[in-house]
Structures are given as C-alpha cells and as structure tokens.
C-alpha cells in the first residue's frame, strides 16, 4: 500500500469508499461504453467501415465534419475576442455579459432549437422571411445547423481562455507596448503565445461538443437523410430502423473521436502547470 500524507483514512473506510465509487463508475460509464465498442466491432473492423460507405451515412459524416469545422472556427474567433475584451478592458455591463455567456451551458438543446426557429424560420420568424427573400435560408439549412452548434459550444473556449488571461496579468503586454509594439504586434508576439495551450484545449473541447450536438440540430435541420442529417441524427434513425450494426458503428466512431479529444486534453494539460 502506498503511503502518503493523504492516505490517512482507516483501511475499512478507504476500501469501502474505493469499492463503492469504482463500482459506480464502472457500472455507469466504463462498462457500457466498452460494450458499444464491442458491439460495433462484433462483425470485424471491415464491416464497421463498410457501414460508413452507405451514401446517406457518408453524407451525414461529411455534413458533421463541415458543420463542426465552421462552428469551431466561429467560436475560436468570437471566444478569443470576447475573452480579451472581458479580461483586459472595462466597459459598462461587463458583469452581466460575463454571466450571460454561460447561459448556453445550462439551456436545453431543445430550447436552443426552438429559439432559433422562432427567429429565423422563413415563414413567420422575426428575421427569417426578410433573410429568405434576400436569398439566405437559415432554418432547414446548413447555416441554421451551424448556428445551433455554435450556440451550444459557445462558452467552452471562453472558459478556457479567460482564467489563463487573468492569471497572466498584462505586465508583458505593457512592456511590449512601452517598447513601441502596436496592438497587433503585442497580440501576435506576446498574448497569443502565452495562451496557446488554453486555445488548444478550447478548440478540442468545442470540437467534441460540436460533433456530438443532437437536439438543437435535430430541430433546426429538418432531419432529412442524405440532405440535412448529421452523424448523431443518423445514429438515432438507423437505430430506430433496426439497422443496429450501422448505428453502433457510427456511435463507436463518434465516441472514439470524443474520447480521443479527452485523452489529448488529459495528456496536454499537465504541461501548462509545470
């Protein structure tokens, strides 16, 4: 038994807690997750990849990749800008904005979808008809799906960058500026390099969240296979159509990517602290 200053609980308490908590995590998360991979690989890796060749499935995967790319890009630019503004500048309403930025984390994806439909649908939305007559369809189209995805993943980048910026302070930035660097130079040479790991985590987390969005995208997309169906929506439809092999294969692929993101963050994170 390893001893440390922390392992001071008496043995029965320690083993009891260990047993209860580990069983809980195994039964609730580890075992079921492992089973999905087992089910997906039941007919071999070849069969799993064959199911991705179905045109509707490959289109869904492409669409998910496309939406994720733009959603992460938008959140990267928006998140960075707003983080720098929140930490380095003073403006009225800053506290309120900071609180409001967390709203997407606790709002139901279904509410997000409904909210976007109410404003952007082409028939009777607030802005939808005008945008549509200008040739821009949002709801039941890719822009709406990107907006829904951006919405749900919005706070992730900000949550990673803001604490790092705060801890960093602005001594170096001020020094750079006093030596004659302009705003863009200070940003590129001083600020961005100092927060690059926070940005990497933010991107990885936004990526995982964007790939997996389901409820909000289901409402704004119209959910038509081969057209506006993303990978997560295909998981649902194939499962309900009793194509469980395809469903498990897609789910395993999504789970694999999500968990790879997780492991990347877990491996990278200690670097920042040392």
Q: Cβ 259 to other proteins, closest distance in Å?
A: 6
Tokens representing 26 are 């195994």
Out of 48, 101, 139, 190, the only residue in the binding site for other proteins (CB under 8 A) is 101
Does residue number 171 form part of the binding site for other proteins (CB under 8 A)? yes
Out of 10, 46, 55, 180, the only residue in the binding site for other proteins (CB under 8 A) is 10
Q: CA angle at residue 248 from 247 to 252, to 5 degrees?
A: 120
Helix (H) or strand (E) holding 69: helix 55-88
Does residue number 158 form part of the binding site for other proteins (CB under 8 A)? yes
Question: In whole angstroms, what is the distance from residue 65 CA to residue 82 CA?
Answer: 25
CA distances from 260 to 36, 64, 208, 232, 254 (A): 16, 17, 9, 17, 10
Q: Cβ 112 to other proteins, closest distance in Å?
A: 8
Spell out, one character per residue from 218 to 257, where the chain touches other proteins: x when CB under 8 A holds, - when not.
xx------------xx-xx--xx------xx--x--xx--
Does residue number 169 form part of the binding site for other proteins (CB under 8 A)? yes
Out of 58, 65, 111, 185, the only residue in the binding site for other proteins (CB under 8 A) is 111
Out of 49, 69, 130, 167, the only residue in the binding site for other proteins (CB under 8 A) is 167
Q: Are 263 and 254 in contact (CB under 8 A)?
A: no
Tokens representing 132 are 């549509």
Q: Are 112 and 149 in contact (CB under 8 A)?
A: no
- Token match 């302070």: residue? 169
Out of 62, 65, 88, 175, the only residue in the binding site for other proteins (CB under 8 A) is 88
Does residue number 81 form part of the binding site for other proteins (CB under 8 A)? yes
Q: Cβ 66 to other proteins, closest distance in Å?
A: 17
Q: Which of residues 12-71 bind other proteins (CB under 8 A)?
A: 14, 17-18, 20-22, 24-25, 27-33, 35-36, 39
Q: CA angle at residue 162 from 159 to 168, to 5 degrees?
A: 140
Count of residues interacting with other proteins (CB under 8 A)? 104
Out of 122, 159, 176, 201, the only residue in the binding site for other proteins (CB under 8 A) is 159
Q: How far apart are the first and last CA of the chain?
A: 28
């Amino acid at each position: 038994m390893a001893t440390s200053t922390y392992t001071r609980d008496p043995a029965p308490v320690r083993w009891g807690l260990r047993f209860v908590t580990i069983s809980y995590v195994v039964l609730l998360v580890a075992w079921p997750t492992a089973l999905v991979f087992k089910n997906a690989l039941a007919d071999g890796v070849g069969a799993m990849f064959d199911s991705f060749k179905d045109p509707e499935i490959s289109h869904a995967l492409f669409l998910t990749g496309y939406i994720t790319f733009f959603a992460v890009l938008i959140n990267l630019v928006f998140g960075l800008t707003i983080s720098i503004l929140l930490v380095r500048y003073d403006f009225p309403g800053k506290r309120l904005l900071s609180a409001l930025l967390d709203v997407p984390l606790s709002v139901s994806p279904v509410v997000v979808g409904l909210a976007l439909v109410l404003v952007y649908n082409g028939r009777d939305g607030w802005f939808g008809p005008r945008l549509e007559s200008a040739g821009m369809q949002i709801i039941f189209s890719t822009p709406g799906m990107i907006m829904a995805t951006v919405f749900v993943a919005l706070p992730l980048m900000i949550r990673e960058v803001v604490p790092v910026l705060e801890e960093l302070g602005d001594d170096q930035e001020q020094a750079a500026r006093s030596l004659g660097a302009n705003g863009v130079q200070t940003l590129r040479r001083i600020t961005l390099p100092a927060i690059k790991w926070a940005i990497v985590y933010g991107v990885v987390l936004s990526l995982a969240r964007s790939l997996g969005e389901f409820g909000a995208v289901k409402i704004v997309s119209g959910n038509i296979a081969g057209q506006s169906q993303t990978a997560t929506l295909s998981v649902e439809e194939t499962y309900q159509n009793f194509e469980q092999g395809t469903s498990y294969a897609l789910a395993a692929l999504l789970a694999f990517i999500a968990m790879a993101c997780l492991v990347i963050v877990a491996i990278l994170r200690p670097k920042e602290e040392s």
